Structure 1
Amino acid sequence: MAEAHQAVGFQFTVRPDGVDLKLSQEVIKNIYLSGVTAWKKRAIQFKNGVLAGVYPASPSSWLIVVIAMMSSLYIHVDPSLGMIDAIKENLPHSVVPFLSRGYMSVQTRAVLSAILFATGLWLFLIYLLRYTLKALLSYHGWIFESHGKMSTSTKVWLSLVKMFSGRRPLLYSFQASLPRLPVPSVDDTIHRYLESVRPLLDTEQYRQMEVLANEFNESMATRLQRYLILKSWWATNYVSDWWEEYIYLRGRTPIMVNSNFYIMDLLYVTPTHRQAARAGNVVHAMLQYRRKLERGEHAPLRALGTVPMCSTQMERMFNTTRIPGIETDIVQHLTDRKHLVVYHKGRFFHLWLYTGGRHLLPSELETQFQRILNDTSEPQPGELKLAALTAGNRVPWARARIKYFSQGVNKVSLDAIESAAFFLTLDDEPQGYDPAKTNSLDSYAKSLLHGKCYDRWFDKSFTLISYPNGKMGVNAEHSWADAPIVGHMWEYVLATDCFHLGYTEEGHCKGDVNKGLPHPTRLQWQIPEECQSIIETSYLSAKQIADDVDFHGYLFNDFGKGMIKKCRTSPDAFIQLALQLAQFRDQRVFCLTYESSMTRMFRDGRTETVRSCTSEAVAFVRAMEDAGATTAQRLALFRKAADKHQNMYRLAMTGSGIDRHLFCLYLVSKYLGVDSPFLKKVLSEPWKLSTSQTPQQQLNLVDINKFPKYVGAGGGFGPVADDGYGVSYIIVGENLITFHISSKFSSPDTDSYRFGQHIQKAMLDIQALYKPENDKKTVEKHVPLENGKKHI
């Protein structure tokens, strides 16, 4: 047991003549280095906290203001208009009151007064800059302009934003300057809601909905709205805390499939086929990302390279766990966690991520992971399927946690999991995209989404999954953040893994192999039979959900963003209208459609809903299914529907959406104990088609034109409705769109593969509308005119 000896920091024996104490120099050295690293980390965090706290100014600007004030004293110019003299008169004459010594001279008091005034002026200028920038960022007219056409006023506005944004911002530099999410007017929200449901209701149903909406508006809407406006003044965001609590944390059904989502690895490239080596590089890259995140050193994400996005969600990416409760869960976020918990073949291993005050190197991590892979010990009783507790219903897990995991070795081991930086599963079945296998993406997605139902810790902020063939993936818990946040980290990790860390010719991590590290240690469990029965019940419940997931991954490579842009249409609007056409062809009816939009241009913003099934979209789809409609008519209706969709998406992004406002009004009504038939009906409507676009190239760390194979496959989620579809899509470069389609086998009306075929046909059918027009332009460009000139 060599590792046991290395784990001992000191030894002592009791002798008749005293105590013989032997210190381990290696451990003392590691303790010293760890302390130095911790103090360096605190110093960097303090420095970056100060830089972000005074942004867009800088600490050096304080010195400039002080020097300017001091200089004015010597040239007998008072820019303070007498305030420096007033401060000087009110300063105590003695440095230490009540003592005869220590009097300040007149010159000292004048200098101190100038410094105090300069500091106050400097702070005032900082707040002035911040509120000026906040006022500028509250303008959203730029987002409603046509793509590629920027007005003079928008150019001036962008120049002002750049001017007041300062230089080299840190991750949280803009937080204090972001505007608050505005509360829309009730009249606007009700009008947009009625407009959104008009194509889904017949005349009588729509008339009844109008009556309910008008009764709500006339009776209690004003009262509920006042409380929301009050909250918007008091809280940084009037939606986000309630959204996290009531949509995610108060849910008592399983979060596996129903809430968690996944993100896939690179589509075409596997940097190494050695499982331990790939995991070593990826984990090391994650630790680098976490270090920059803790220090706030990542650059903030900015639209148009100028307009900042909120970074709040990134704070809880690591060291975070969803803790189950009887009535509601909580999100536990810790700081400075130095270990990882690894799951392999039913065993849980505790692995330290630091040695000598530094991160383990990729080669060291590879060694540790290989040791776990080589371990042939058997799981302890109840250990194999223990994680199924996080996959089943929340209440049984919460009760079991209190009864069986609140003391002894079980508490120690559970604390190790819940306080870990993140959770890693070394899977034993290869996955990944294989062009030779028609269902490879389907199997890969289901593995990431639910696995075996007991080999991912679904409560962790994310579980990193490593496969025997070198492929990776992520399963993420949803309450703490949305998919773009995890995607941001994943892009950094993949780019660092492939282009900065790299591998040897044999596929191992670069660097020397350090075999002197203490081995990973097994977590110990004492799980009684009653608890094992609860674990088995949670497993069977989760397995029933997992087995019901009908998944289809589809790579659409007939065309991509490049062709769509040539049609002068938003790629997102193009795809959303194709989804409406596919949905109608699949079900022969229209349905309420959910598309996720972000609101991160506001402080603590998360998401808003875009209701994609509009009257304009319905008219376009009906024209596509009408054999008598001409191509010109269909194209005109398509453009009208696309413009409508773009406008709705922009309204959602700028705080004028429908669903978050109605959701908060409903919560206020519940708090006040009043009943609204209108709000109750709105909140009970099923989303039979739930869609989301996965962002690509948030960081632009890889030039995909130069390295076209280094693209991700995006991610997906489970079906939202029992008889509906969940569709996630990612626009990859110029010539590829990836679709992740989910539904339930138990529904006789849905089929994910069939829906994928409908999407393909819908995309091609819409593209065909532009072909005659494009062909005409091409002909006109090259046919000579009578005078010998050509059309240009």
Structure 2
Amino acid sequence: MSKQLGSCVPGYKPAMTGPLYANQDKLPKLPVPSLEATLPKYLKSIEPLLTPTEYENTVKSADEFSNSAIGKLLQDRLLARAQDPTKTSWLIDWWNDLAYLGYRDPVVPFVSYFYAHKNDKRHKTGVKKGAAIVSSALQFWKQVTDGTLPPEMARTTPLDSSSYQYMFNSCRIPHPGSDHPVQYNPETNKKITVARNGIFYILDICPNGIELSVPEIETQLEKIIQDADGRIAPRIGIFTGDYRDTWAKNREMLISSGPNNKKLLAEIESSIFLLCLDSTSPVTQNDHNHGCWHGDGFNRFFDKPCEFIVFENGKSGFLGEHSMMDGTPTCRLNEFVVSQTLSKTFDKDFGNMDQLRTDLPSPLPLLFETDVHVLKSLKKAHKTFDYEIARQHLYSTTFHGFGKQIISKHYGFSPDAFAQMIIQHAYYKLHGRCVPTYEPAQTRKFLSGRTEACRVLSTESLEFVKTMENPYASDEEKINALKLATKAHSKYSAEAAEGLGVDRHLLGLRLSLKPDEELPALFKDPVFSLSSTWKISTSNISSKYFLSWGWSEVVGDGYGIAYSVVDDNLSFNVTCARDNTIGLDSEKLCQCLNDSATDLRELLAKTALPSKPKL
């Protein structure tokens, strides 16, 4: 460890060369939609939320804004920002700060997301599975750092690769008001951080210039477990699960409490990724989910973009810090890792015992110096973490009645739109109403693109759920309502992916307003904030390599619903706050999701569609 100290100098910027970044110069910039395109779309999206009188009032305020001098001025300012040659995107700086780096609540449970990996029948202990994951993830790391990883494509359209630079050897650093990301040189930081019992170890992956083999990694992990299980030391990882401004303050206090503490933090921050060797053995899917999502709070460093979690019984998962990177790149990373570790030839390809060196130095723990103030703050951070996690209610379910194959190939519906209508119907079943619902649409076909909001709730989706719950509606009426609702959803999703949604444009217009200028009536209208208060926040990552995935609700009286539509089943992971006052319940909603899927299965099974609707 000593030779690594001092090598982790921040401020590194990767060259971003090679095939991974070959298309960057060809990508178009994120467009600025016209007011004439956005405002009618906005009005249509809010209609299900309003009475006729309320809707007419909003129509008037939208017309006034469209024809006003300030409306045209804000649009011109936004267009000028989009044309600024120094900016890769008119949105990216605003979005990264407002949505992520400036967010002050704890990143876990409120922002970071987890994947629960498919079970591995061959690597049934933590060290064996951990060694397999480390070896596989390092193969991916090499391809990212040298740029040889092929760029992602949406069919024939290349996607932005800029977020890959923050995947490895990077960290989010807390700072009062707004955090910032820091990158480190991978050539001088060929190491990973391993956490066990809340104690962090630096594992040199290339001792004496020779990369560790899988058996050598396993041996090193066994040494770490043996040392950590008999050691008492300050467990500073819990600090990273606190409110961001509190963590920023505590980080400075921790640094000042010992002369080596800043270097020790930099060891973690500059490492390639984190491997968390947990001492628990989850059996149920809910326990597996909770372990991947947050664990005990100590055996994590939540500011790292990539944390692989391995349990004593060989189950595994991943936790992603969200600020500089959305889920698609880390999904790709995890699919690569799990597909490798599940491969029948993995042991043959990576498990050569002849590569086992017996003279490898034992990884040394990062032992932080503390004082009474740090210890007191650690105790308080632990209390805060336990309180926030205890408030979370998580439940997951899998519906085996059908999957993508039947939804798409047999009935011709968009699997994503179909699943979204199940969510709308389930919420209506449980709560008797529909609410603003968010689904991210990927905008990575544009330079520095991240996401646009797809507004799921529509007049068509509301009519669909009401028709489904109407005992006098015919099967033909229900099928027609489903067709119209899925078609409307697919249309909005496609437009959002082209950068032509509502929410980012309206955000840009509002942020273009100067401090001394009066807020237009359109933005004062209560429905403006209501329509983007996501009482249901959803996202779809459909992978055969994951058993589950998820994150928390985004508002206190809402649900977070992560879902997957694979060939033969649909799975949903639902979260909400336990202390909500309006009767939200993740387990009950999961039952309603199953009930809705069953209703649709029975409806479609007895209804002969004349042709595939191709929605």
Q: Is the 8 A contact 2:82 2:90 kept in 1?
A: yes
In structure 2, distance between residues paired with 1:415 and 1:711: 33
* Structure 2 counterparts to residues 299-448 of structure 1, below 5 A: 299-304=150-155, 306-336=156-186, 337-375=189-227, 376-380=229-233, 383-384=234-235, 386-406=236-256, 408-431=259-282, 440-448=284-292
Residue in structure 2 matched with residue 241 of structure 1 by the alignment: 93
| Most deviating of 544-553 and 669-678 | 669-678
Q: Is the 8 A contact 2:475 2:607 kept in 1?
A: no
Residue in structure 2 matched with residue 766 of structure 1 by the alignment: 600
Q: Is the 8 A contact 2:213 2:356 kept in 1?
A: no
Q: Is the 8 A contact 2:198 2:300 kept in 1?
A: no
Residue in structure 1 matched with residue 539 of structure 2 by the alignment: 692
In structure 1, distance between residues paired with 2:25 and 2:3: 48
Q: CA RMSD in A?
A: 2.4
**Residue 592 of structure 1: how far off its partner (Å):** 0.4
Residue in structure 1 matched with residue 330 of structure 2 by the alignment: 486
Q: Is residue 730 of structure 1 aligned with residue 573 of structure 2?
A: no
**Residue 208 of structure 1: how far off its partner (Å):** 3.1
Residue in structure 2 matched with residue 275 of structure 1 by the alignment: 126
In structure 1, distance between residues paired with 2:313 and 2:260: 35
Is the alpha carbon distance of 1:511 and 1:279 closer, same or farther for their aligned partners in structure 2, counting shifts above 3 Å? farther
Q: Is the 8 A contact 2:197 2:298 kept in 1?
A: no
In structure 2, distance between residues paired with 1:399 and 1:676: 38
2:392 to 537, 549, 552: 549
In structure 2, distance between residues paired with 1:207 and 1:511: 77
1:43-93 per-position Cα deviation (integer Å, ceiling 9, x unaligned): xx99x94xx5xxxxxxxxxxxxxxxxxxxxxxxxxxxxxxxxxxxxxxxxx
In structure 2, distance between residues paired with 1:190 and 1:458: 39
Q: Is residue 215 of structure 1 aligned with residue 59 of structure 2?
A: no
SS of 1:171's equivalent in the other structure is: helix
Give the TM-score of the pair, scaled to structure 1: 0.71
| Most deviating of 710-719 and 391-400 | 710-719
**Residue 474 of structure 1: how far off its partner (Å):** 0.8
In structure 2, distance between residues paired with 1:528 and 1:594: 45
Residue in structure 2 matched with residue 466 of structure 1 by the alignment: 310
In structure 2, distance between residues paired with 1:658 and 1:8: 52
Q: Is residue 285 of structure 1 aligned with residue 136 of structure 2?
A: yes
Q: Is residue 621 of structure 1 aligned with residue 473 of structure 2?
A: no
**Residue 515 of structure 1: how far off its partner (Å):** 2.2
* Structure 2 counterparts to residues 446-595 of structure 1, below 5 A: 446-499=290-343, 502-503=346-347, 511-565=354-408, 566-595=410-439
**Residue 373 of structure 1: how far off its partner (Å):** 1.1
In structure 2, distance between residues paired with 1:756 and 1:618: 20
In structure 2, distance between residues paired with 1:661 and 1:421: 36
1:180-222 per-position Cα deviation (integer Å, ceiling 9, x unaligned): 1110012221211111010111123223323333333325221
Paired positions, count? 591
Identity of aligned residues (%): 27
SS of 1:194's equivalent in the other structure is: helix
| Most deviating of 586-595 and 764-773 | 764-773
SS of 2:440's equivalent in the other structure is: strand
Q: Is residue 745 of structure 1 aligned with residue 578 of structure 2?
A: yes
Q: Which has the higher contact order (CA 8 A, sep 6+)?
A: 2
Q: Is residue 174 of structure 1 aligned with residue 174 of structure 2?
A: no
In structure 1, distance between residues paired with 2:586 and 2:246: 32
Is the alpha carbon distance of 1:572 and 1:377 closer, same or farther for their aligned partners in structure 2, counting shifts above 3 Å? same
Q: Is the 8 A contact 2:101 2:178 kept in 1?
A: yes
1:270-319 per-position Cα deviation (integer Å, ceiling 9, x unaligned): 33112112111111111111111111111112222x22111111121001
Give the TM-score of the pair, scaled to structure 2: 0.91
Q: Is the 8 A contact 1:694 1:714 kept in 2?
A: no
| Most deviating of 348-357 and 402-411 | 402-411
Residue in structure 2 matched with residue 256 of structure 1 by the alignment: 108
Is the alpha carbon distance of 1:508 and 1:404 closer, same or farther for their aligned partners in structure 2, counting shifts above 3 Å? same
**Residue 714 of structure 1: how far off its partner (Å):** 4.2
Q: Is the 8 A contact 2:199 2:299 kept in 1?
A: no
1:357-404 per-position Cα deviation (integer Å, ceiling 9, x unaligned): 232111111110000111143222xx13x2121111111211122233
SS of 1:341's equivalent in the other structure is: strand
1:89-137 per-position Cα deviation (integer Å, ceiling 9, x unaligned): xxxxxxxxxxxxxxxxxxxxxxxxxxxxxxxxxxxxxxxxxxxxxxxxx
Is the alpha carbon distance of 1:392 and 1:8 closer, same or farther for their aligned partners in structure 2, counting shifts above 3 Å? closer
**Residue 772 of structure 1: how far off its partner (Å):** 2.7
In structure 2, distance between residues paired with 1:278 and 1:261: 21
In structure 1, distance between residues paired with 2:365 and 2:454: 48
Q: Is the 8 A contact 1:396 1:534 kept in 2?
A: no
Is the alpha carbon distance of 1:482 and 1:776 closer, same or farther for their aligned partners in structure 2, counting shifts above 3 Å? closer
* Structure 2 counterparts to residues 166-205 of structure 1, below 5 A: 170-205=19-54
Q: Is the 8 A contact 1:694 1:729 kept in 2?
A: yes
Q: Is the 8 A contact 1:503 1:510 kept in 2?
A: no
In structure 2, distance between residues paired with 1:182 and 1:241: 15
SS of 2:109's equivalent in the other structure is: coil
In structure 1, distance between residues paired with 2:415 and 2:575: 22
2:445 to 566, 581, 601: 601
In structure 1, distance between residues paired with 2:517 and 2:388: 35
Q: Is residue 232 of structure 1 aligned with residue 82 of structure 2?
A: yes
Is the alpha carbon distance of 1:678 and 1:387 closer, same or farther for their aligned partners in structure 2, counting shifts above 3 Å? farther
Is the alpha carbon distance of 1:8 and 1:196 closer, same or farther for their aligned partners in structure 2, counting shifts above 3 Å? closer
**Residue 731 of structure 1: how far off its partner (Å):** 1.7
In structure 2, distance between residues paired with 1:254 and 1:509: 43
In structure 2, distance between residues paired with 1:671 and 1:321: 33
Is the alpha carbon distance of 1:623 and 1:571 closer, same or farther for their aligned partners in structure 2, counting shifts above 3 Å? same
In structure 2, distance between residues paired with 1:510 and 1:603: 46
In structure 1, distance between residues paired with 2:292 and 2:535: 23
In structure 1, distance between residues paired with 2:397 and 2:455: 24
In structure 1, distance between residues paired with 2:158 and 2:210: 33
**Residue 501 of structure 1: how far off its partner (Å):** 6.1
SS of 1:256's equivalent in the other structure is: helix
Residue in structure 2 matched with residue 109 of structure 1 by the alignment: none
Q: Is residue 295 of structure 1 aligned with residue 146 of structure 2?
A: yes
1:144-171 per-position Cα deviation (integer Å, ceiling 9, x unaligned): xxxxxxxxxxxxxxxxxxxxxxxxxx21
**Residue 490 of structure 1: how far off its partner (Å):** 0.7
SS of 2:547's equivalent in the other structure is: coil
**Residue 759 of structure 1: how far off its partner (Å):** 0.7
**Residue 348 of structure 1: how far off its partner (Å):** 1.7
Runs of 5+ unmatched residues, structure 2: 5-13
Q: Is residue 717 of structure 1 aligned with residue 568 of structure 2?
A: no
**Residue 244 of structure 1: how far off its partner (Å):** 0.6
Residue in structure 2 matched with residue 783 of structure 1 by the alignment: none
Residue in structure 1 matched with residue 11 of structure 2 by the alignment: none
1:752-779 per-position Cα deviation (integer Å, ceiling 9, x unaligned): 11101111111121232322333999xx
In structure 2, distance between residues paired with 1:224 and 1:537: 45
Is the alpha carbon distance of 1:394 and 1:453 closer, same or farther for their aligned partners in structure 2, counting shifts above 3 Å? same
SS of 2:600's equivalent in the other structure is: helix
Residue in structure 2 matched with residue 34 of structure 1 by the alignment: none
Runs of 5+ unmatched residues, structure 1: 10-44, 53-169, 435-439, 697-709, 778-792
